[in-house]
Structure 1
């Protein structure tokens, strides 16, 4: 009988302890979390526009028989430049609230 009484008291104490909020749970607060997000479509468009513009400029600046090489190099450089420009200039901030 005494063992049952002790077991019941221990279980009751554990149940009450588990139901009470801990210090960490009581100190939770709301925090705004933000991140920069860019759209993939804008980067693709920037790459395409940069490649076309760079190819035209490379063709115009190259001489004689090196027009094809100048066009290809200009298109490559323009594609990289257009992609980087679109990536850095087309980001927007996305925020949400979290409880921590």
Structure 2
């Protein structure tokens, strides 16, 4: 649920709230051992950081999301992270 909330915050332009939600999501991912959601959380964090002008940190999160999702065989998250990273590098919207 926290990842859905994070996504909503990002789509509404509420980047600070998105960062708070994603921190909660990381805690729940760790607590429940749902590592398959880690790449999704990294993508959401990257979107929020990029919106706040922290492009380098955002790029690092997207790159980690690509690596993490590929290692788990989760091509959907890998492709999403790659699309968002490419868009950000072109200066296009990332959501």
Q: Which one has more relative contact order, counting CA pairs under 8 Å at least 6 apart? A: 1
Structure (1 or 2) with the greater helix fraction: 2
- Give the TM-score normalised by the residue count of structure 2: 0.28
Bigger Rg, structure 1 or 2: 1
- Give the TM-score normalised by the residue count of structure 1: 0.26
Structure (1 or 2) with the greater strand fraction: 1
